[in-house]
Amino acid sequence: MSIIDLKMFLRDLKSIVNIESYSYDPQGKAQVINFLREKFHALNWHIEEYPLDSSVGSALVCMNRKVDAFDVLLSGHMDTVFKIGTTKTRPFSEDGKRAYGPGVCDMKQGLIQAYHVCRLLTENNEIGEGNICVIFNPDEEISSIYSRPLLEKLAAKSRYAIILEPARANGNLVNERKGVGKYILEFFGKEAHAAVNPEAGANAINACIETCQMLLAQVKPEKGNMLNIGTIEGGTTPNTVPAYAKIQIDCRFISALESERLDALIQNLHGKITKQGVRIGVAGGITRPPWAKTKNGLAFCAEVDQIKQRLGIQADWASTGGASDGNFFAALGVPTIDGMGIVGGRQHSPEEYLEIDSIIPRTTLLYETVKFCLSK
């Protein structure tokens, strides 16, 4: 017998997918909050809304009772990468095998999954003296720049944390993620005629190229690092010494030591004047700390492995370069698992999908995992 009503789950999923919730659409996320508030209010849970910034809106926190410490924190983000108007041209749909729509996988499914598990635990009186906290934040797709303090505050009060990002397309869960650093480097030189008096100028693009070469030489892939120079701009005409250049850099790293080394390397460039007289400006920094495997984290994984085996679910553990809010929790030492949502794929694209036949088994896995957290 199924622990949830699949038709009800899909009906809720359709409703929330068809609510626009682009990261910079606070009005859309206010509608998502109203939808979720109504659901959890019906369970008689304690509900708090936290206004964060006018550009993104609020976070919603739901607890089975108002307390200051939790057995488990469930985390899901309300925002998607899809601009306003996408649901009008591409609303929720399903074909019996897969469900489609903006954010259906990343991660509207996790919001509905969290509610249905909490509803089941509440209706079955299985929470007992345990304490569950669920946070729905509005800005994960933009690095949780406004909700991070609240996320970390709640995680620090929790014994376990579960991130409801979708399972990998092959069904795997996640127990390690690289940290992220994002930087903008600007180079300020001086214009001059490139053929008549180049010595009167200071070539910003040359300084940019030399800096890029230096940075790339400092990357250590064998230690799990990556540095990608993703955009570059500058210059005016081929016969003018360029006075300005700009690059954007994305760094990934698996160890705290390497993240600190690369961050210091880049930050120390700020204000530097090259031999050619080009000044360098640096903005940005580490946006998510690395999530490395720990003894307590692996012990949590082992408990989930036992639950998977009991349920007959085949899924391994994956390490990924993509980051999530789980990075914040794991960096605080909280045993954390990720990818506990429904199986899906092609996130951030028009082909994004969710495997319908994975809804019941993966929701059952989450349900049993939360029960484990409550029992410890």
Please give the model's pTM, rounded to 2 decimal places: 0.91
Task: Judge if 25 and 131 occupy the same domain.
Answer: yes
Residue 105 and residue 196 in one domain = no
The verdict on residue 166 lying in a domain is yes
Q: Is 79 a catalytic residue?
A: yes
Same domain for 273 and 357, yes or no, is: no
Number of domains in the chain: 2
Quick one: pLDDT at residue 1?
A: 54
Domain final position from 288, 317, 346: 288
Q: Which of 254, 288, 322 is the endpoint of a domain? A: 288
* 50 and 173 share one domain: yes
- CATH number (domain holding residue 15): 3.40.630.10
Integer Cα distance of 6 and 4 in angstroms: 6
32 and 149 inside one domain: yes
Rounded distance, CA 22 to CA 85, Å? Answer: 10
Q: Percent of the chain scored above 70 by pLDDT?
A: 100
Instruction: Say which of 12, 71, 79, 191 is annotated catalytic.
Output: 79
Q: What are phi and psi of 49, to 5 degrees?
A: -110, 135
In 3D space, the residue among 298, 301, 263, 266 whose CA is nearest the CA of residue 280 turns out to be: 266
* pLDDT band, residue 267 (cuts 50/70/90): very high
Of 140, 141, 165, 325, catalytic:
140
Q: Is residue 1 part of a domain?
A: no
179-208 tens-digit pLDDT: 999 999 999 999 999 999 999 999 999 999
Residue 46, in any domain of the structure: yes
> Mean of the pLDDT values across residues 248-271?
95
Q: How far apart are CA 315 and CA 254, in angstroms?
A: 23
Q: Encode pLDDT of 25-84 as tens digits.
A: 999 999 999 999 999 999 999 999 999 999 999 999 999 999 999 999 999 999 999 999
Task: Measure Cα distances from 48 to 40, 79, 109, 253, 323 in Å.
Answer: 11, 18, 22, 35, 26
Is 247 a domain residue? yes
